[in-house]
Amino acid sequence: MAPNPHRGLSGTALAMALLITSTSTLPVLAAAPQQRQLASAQPILLLAEKSEDDKNEKKKKKKKKQESQQKQNKQQSDQKKSKGSTSQTNKVSDKKREKIYEQGRQDGLKTGKQKGKDKGFREAQRQQWKAWNNNDWRRHNNSRRNIWVTPVQYNRGFYNNPSWARNSNWGNNRPWGGNNNNWYSNNNNPSWSWWGGQALGWGVNALTTALIVNSAVNNAIRQRQPTVAVPNSSMQLYYGSVEPSDDTDVTFVVNKNGNAFQMEADCSDGLLDGEVPISLAEAELINTACQVAFGSI
């Protein structure tokens, strides 16, 4: 049997011992509710910290979104400025486009003329044109480049014509040889190698005679008119603008649908700006200009 630790103590001493023992446990008992309170407060603190983190994250996202929007707005603004600048550049290029095209056209004519003067190249072309059938000519006429592109400023009246084109004896007064250089003669049926194939498609077999062209020029001079009507067309030739560039080629200005165009004709092969004509009207234009330049009077 275990000995009683309180044996031998008086009643008063025993009571005091019990009081001390019970009071010594009070802090422990008092601490228990406080610990429970602290334990219950921890989740609240964690929630508060999480809420603060969420706020910070939202602020970051909002700031990032604002920065992204500002960047996008700046890009759009830069694009508009760039577009405006490009548009302005295009306006400048538009002003230069006609000059650039015309220069390119003239360079092309020179190159084409040099190439065309190569006998081997031109003879091969002539043989090709002779061999073409109706379908070949139809394809050519549908695919040929547009030579009526760039109008020119030409308002020369009769009295601004060169002296030879103001005189009734104009055929003999032509400064490049006059009647001594009258090699051009179509005899109503030109010797152009492409003529047979194209004329068949047009339903014709002859061009306007030299007599009719010469008579038209004589009438225009008497009436002080600067143009003559091109037969079988709505075009008017400024006959005073006719000027040979060599023994077979001629440049001139023609009015077509109210616009003036500077063109070049190869009288030997019947080409307009280096191309086989695609209509009877174009063929008559070549014939009229060549008759004024090189035809007999």
Q: What is the pLDDT of residues 202-255, one digit of tens each?
A: 999 999 999 999 999 999 999 999 999 999 999 999 999 999 998 899 999 999
Q: What is the pLDDT of residues 256-288, one digit of tens each?
A: 999 999 999 999 999 999 999 999 999 999 999
Residue 213: both structure tokens together: 């062209």
Rounded to a whole number of angstroms, the CA Rg of the chain reads 52
**Sheet strands side by side (includes 236-244):** 228-229, 236-244, 249-256, 259-266, 271-272
Q: Which residues, at least 6 apart from 38, have a Cβ–Cβ distance to it below 8 Å? A: none
Confidence (pTM):
0.62
- As a whole number of angstroms, the distance between CA 242 and CA 237 comes to 9
Share of the chain above pLDDT 90, in %: 49
Average pLDDT, the chain: 79
